[in-house]
Structure 1
Amino acid sequence: MLAAGALILSGPWSPSLAPAHADGDADAGTAVASGPEGCPAGAVCGRLRVPLDRGDRSAGTTSVAFRLVYRRDRSRPAEGTLLPNPGGPGLPVIGHRDYARKYHDLLATHDLLLVDPRGVGASGPVTCRTAGWADLHASRARAIAAAAACGRELGAGRRFYTTEAVADDIDDVRAHLGIGRLDLLGQSYGSYLMNVYARRHPRHVRSVVLSGAYPREFDMLGRPAARAARRALRLLCHRSGGACDGEEVLDDLAVLAARLDARPLRYGDGAVLDETALAGTVYKLASGHVELLGRLPAALHAAVHRDMGPLVHLVAQVRPISGYAAGRTGFSMPMFVTVACNDYPALWDRDAPLRVRARQYAARLARLAPRDYRPFRPRAWIGGITDLGDLCIAWPARRAPERHRLGRPPDVPVLVVSGELDTGTPTEEALLAARSYRHAKVVEVPSAGHVAEQDPRAAACVISLQTRFILQGRVSGTECLRHIPPVPVPAPERALT
């Protein structure tokens, strides 16, 4: 279990939803502009008009922005076309993600196709002015209210924003550009999207790389994430050179969770550190801030001994993830919520009124085994993870947009990469995502967190593995995994000075 580098084989619409989208004069599938400003040399940029609803053409159209960056060696035909997506849902691609630099070696022979998902970035961004997006990270009740407010503002238009629709938009862009097959690179939610694309358009897939992957039907109650958090803390300490002990860290968490449940701590600008906030901090450290994870053991040790300063400082560093709400990196909170509430599994009857949904959800929670969530209570752990649990319980759409039965996945080379410390999309879920494909290979990256190629300690190794896989159709060069350094863990006495 502790081995490093193991290769596992296995209401009213928003203005952005109205006139520009309901333009019935142009046929879907036609280019509507020469492209976004700033199209670089050696690239073709444009916008393609696509149906809002492919089952009801009277719903109108929207435009999807794309950029095709040509390979450096134009003397020969492209060996493939890389299509990446960084996830979210709600993250733009064009002009926000430097795939050309990171995958420089691959792009000598491969073209690069960037597509902003509908509702995001240059593809008709969706807005929700009534929702308080900072509330998503303030409290569970306010997060539920913010999601519901966005759904009401979008009105009937919310049904047009699903993963299936985005996958079909991508295929329309592919066809428009005359590209035969794509090499898919899905990161985080992008893995969810690419899995849907591969099974809706299997004939147009050459290879698949999924990083930080999870299956379409995943556990909305966060049990794999809780198991992964315990494993991550044990692994962190196992590689710490004696700076911490995993079981002691878990014991400290249990003490603090009980203490903060009984007596929450207020700090800073009115923020509250309670059991749910502590659980959310542990989750975010391992899923998105692994560079800070090593500070947790000493901060917990100090807090147990009544010095809350180091822990509060650590929590405050993690909280700015809510800066996405202010538009940093182009992240779209409206699309994050809309896709989550449209596509993710529901823990209640979508046709039921809110009071019935609440009873059904409470009954699900009551059946949970507390041991599955140690050292937190189930409600606190689930409440600390934004897109799990009851975030969408008040979403105004009763029936979800129709989810078509996905076809069989293509029999192509598939690589699934998982960060060993990742709680957001743990290896347990990566293995489930890989199970859909006949010959998928799963590589767990030691001491890495969510989307391992974004971790500076692991990036060069992981990107080289992914590049070789796309070029060769097989896993090779795994030796570099053994040289990824562990997350530094200061000893308690050093961390408190």
Structure 2
Amino acid sequence: MTGTTSPGRHRPRAARAASAVALALAGALSLGAAPASVAPASAAAVRPAADPLARYHHQQLHWKSCLLGPDDSIGKELEQAGAQCADVTVPLDYARPDGRTLTVAISRIRGTDTAHRVGALLLNSGGPGGQTLGDPPFVRRAMGEVAARYDVVGVDPRFVGRSTPLDCHWPTGSMIRGAGTDRAGFEREAGFAADLARRCRTYAGDLLPHSSTRNTARDMDVIRAALGERRISYLGYSYGSYLGQVYATMFPKRIDRVVLDGVIDPARYGPRLLRGAEDANRNALRDWADWTAAHHTAYGLGRTRAGVLATVEAVRSAAARTPLRVGDHRLDDHVLPVIVFNGLSQDNPTAYGDFAEGVRDLRRAAEGRAVTPSPWLASALEFTLTGHESGYGSAQTSILCGDVPAPRDPETYWRDLRRAGKEDRLFAPVTNNINPCAFWDPPRERPTTIRADLPALLVNATGDPRTTYPGARAVRRDWSSSRLVTLRDADQHAVYGVYGSRCVDATVNAYLATGRLPATDVGCPRPTS
């Protein structure tokens, strides 16, 4: 899970703009038979014993402009890249394919080298809940010459972005909060999480049972068939790595070349996925502090690592005593740690500078000064403290809660918080806190038991603070036929095409071009510039 404003908010374009991206909510549920865009199948094809999903697999896609209006920046970029968009009809409930339907929005840039065509490359940029429809232009640029051999397909998964929406009308864009510093604060957070779960039951209760990675994987296979592809290749970042593992397990004969970047260990996947990431985030904070100390003249946060870290701790302590006022927002010890956590997923000067400006604003607020937040901080606060992107948090949470059950007893979380908080007062209250999944109905299906092996290309940075490096190594051990590309000495979440590592990008592109994995695992140095 990733992101600049929540776990899982990775979008590859975030290398250019690390602020929150507004989610466009479009599409609607329909009742009864599939719409006219689903082509009628033959009598033999529609017999349940033959293929109960035949009318979805054989639907005719109506390709159209991706541009929704003059202010649609994603649509403009897709249009300029030559992409077209379509809506794919899928069942709401795969156990009842003749019932309600929903739409999944996709985009596609066709390959131009038809003589050496590989097929369709489906994308998922993470989350869960992240939009991917706008990512084909970015991915094609990363692929270089090999892009001509693929149809690059972006997908807004069910309930995300331009697909049929799920919105619980939350007062926040994320379920992630800090637990506070005492039992009273934890009790407030438990009440907040329970309220978020209640809102989802109220506003989206009919959709929640069908929000899961398994259903997203089923949707992917409908998309594959509707595109006329016998097999698909796949590029998944962060949570998208887990989705790729699930798809390859459920549809093993339908998968071709697979790249998983920011690899999740499926044994650890679930509503408490962030537990155990404290060390990686502390290390990322220290490395950011080193950079910031070297730029003391610009930010004034301290001339040494220790000095910068002391500034962060002073801000944390001040927020725990009295909420900080930043613009129109107030940050207490439930929100401040989340803002810091969100500043540590990208390892580059632009992201470091954005975070440093944000911490400088927070220090000024802690000193009682009036503050107009920097763009990065303003975006993070709007996402965390308003319902502006309620749909994102709603979709993300519904998938996590719909995949794996969470402990229901609040005392479980309190014990973990007390234990972890002895060593870490900043990140442990975020990574171990209770969340709405503790108050959710049990998942409709059991979690997927991931297949024993897959010849995939895995990519991870050693210091990744979201999908930590031990997770990638665990998957590599389980998948003996796979290969692991390691970016050394970088606190970076999402590497391919994002970080500027020629070593990583060349290795991935060689695999996409030939279908042959490297003979051994590959280690790539951190770029020097």
* TM-score interval, smaller chain: 0.7 to 0.9
* 1:287 equivalent among 345, 354, 359: 345
Equivalent-residue separation in structure 2 for 1:70 and 1:122 (angstroms): 21
1:422 alignment partner in structure 2: 464
Tell me which residue corresponds to 1:464: 506
TM-aligned CA deviation for residue 241 of structure 1 = 8.6
**Cα distance change, pair 358–23 in 1 and its aligned pair in 2 (3 A):** farther
> Post-superposition shift, 1:434?
3.7
1:222-271 Cα deviation digits (max 9, x unpaired): 34321111111333456779666545544554454344323332332032
State whether residues 327 and 372 of structure 2, in contact with CA within 8 Å, keep that contact through their aligned partners in structure 1.
Answer: no
Unaligned stretches of 5+ residues in structure 1: 1-13, 349-356, 384-388, 486-497
- SS at structure 2 position matched to 1:399: coil
User: Percent of counterpart pairs with the same letter?
Assistant: 24
Q: Is the 8 A contact 1:52 1:61 kept in 2?
A: yes
Q: Could you say which residue in structure 2 is the equivalent of 1:107?
A: 147
Residue number in structure 1 paired with 2:166: 126
Of 228, 237, 253, which residue of structure 2 is paired with 1:178? 228
Paired with 1:138 and 1:445, the residues of 2 have a C-alpha distance of: 30
Tell me the secondary structure at the aligned position of residue 414 of structure 2: helix
- Higher mean displacement: 190-199 or 48-57: 48-57
Q: Counterpart in 2 of 1:11?
A: none
Report the equivalent of 1:449.
492
Equivalent of 2:527, from 474, 480, 483? 483
Residue 123 of structure 1 aligns with an amino acid whose one-letter code is S
In the alignment, what sits opposite 2:282? 230
Instruction: For 2:339, give the aligned amino acid.
Output: T
Deviation of 1:482 (Å): 4.0
Q: 1:462 to 1:147 in 2, by over 3 A?
A: farther
The answer to whether structure 1 residue 83 and structure 2 residue 141 are counterparts is: no
| TM-superposition CA deviations, 1:164-206 (whole Å, max 9, x none) | 1111111122133332333211012212211211221222222
Secondary structure of 2:144's counterpart equals: coil
TM-score under structure 1 length normalisation: 0.75
Unmatched segments (≥5 aa) in structure 2: 1-24, 39-54, 67-77, 179-188, 296-302
Per-residue displacement from partner, 1:49-99 (whole Å, max 9, x unpaired)? 33322223354333334444332212x141343221112222333345523
Cα distance in 1 between the residues matched to 2:355 and 2:338: 13
- 2:445 is matched with which residue? 402
Contact 2:413–2:432 (CA under 8 A) maintained in structure 1: no
Matches of 2:500 and 2:124 in 1, distance apart? 19
Contact 2:329 2:385 (C-alpha < 8 Å) held by counterparts: no
Question: Which of 309, 319, 344 lines up with 1:260 in the alignment?
Answer: 319
Deviations 1:327-357 (A, max 9, x none): 69xx744322221221245122xxxxxxxx3
Q: CA deviation at 1:159?
A: 0.9
Q: Give per-residue Cα distances to partners, 1:395-417, cap 9 Å, x unaligned.
A: 3xx22120354352553132223
CA contact (8 A) 1:289 1:318 kept: no
The separation in 2 between residues aligned to 1:176 and 1:96, in whole angstroms, is 20
In structure 2, the residue matched to 1:391 is: 436
Q: 1:337 aligns with which of 388, 393, 397?
A: 397
Q: CA 1:324–1:308 in 2, change beyond 3 Å: closer, same or farther?
A: closer
**Is the contact made by 1:414 and 1:441 (CA closer than 8 Å) also made in structure 2?**
yes
Aligned partner of 1:81: which letter?
Answer: A
Rounded to whole Å, the distance in 2 between the matches of 1:317 and 1:92 is 18
Please tell me whether residue 94 in structure 1 is matched to residue 133 in structure 2.
yes
The answer on whether the counterparts of 2:129 and 2:396 sit within 8 Å (CA) in structure 1 is yes
Q: Which residue of 2 aligns with 1:490?
A: none
Shift of 1:377: 7.2
The 2-side partners of 1:297 and 1:92 are apart by 27
Q: Tell me if structure 2 keeps the 8 A contact 1:16–1:126.
A: no
Partner Cα separation in structure 2 for residue 301 and residue 322 of structure 1: 17
Matches within 5 A, 1:183-194: 183-194=233-244
CA distance in 2, matches of 1:324, 1:452: 30
Q: 1:283, 1:424 within 8 Å by CA — same for their partners in 2?
A: no
C-alpha spacing 1:189/1:151, structure 2 compared with 1 (3 Å): farther
Contact map agreement 2:488 2:524 (CA 8 A) in 1: no
Residues matched between the structures, number: 447
Which one of 103, 121, 143 corresponds to residue 63 of structure 1? 103
- State the partner residue of 1:9: none
Q: TM-score normalized by structure 2? A: 0.71
Q: Deviations over 1:87-132 (max 9, x none)?
A: 222233334552333333221222323333222334323344x433
Shift of residue 286 of structure 1? Answer: 0.8
Give RMSD over aligned pairs. Answer: 4.1
1:19-55: per-residue Cα shift (whole Å, max 9, x none)?
A: x154368633331542344497977754443332222
CA contact (8 A) 1:93 1:116 kept: yes
The change in CA–CA distance for 1:214 and 1:345 in structure 2 (over 3 A counts) is: farther
Question: Contact 1:159–1:400 at 8 Å: present in 2 too?
Answer: yes
d(CA) in 2 for partners of 1:132 and 1:377? 23
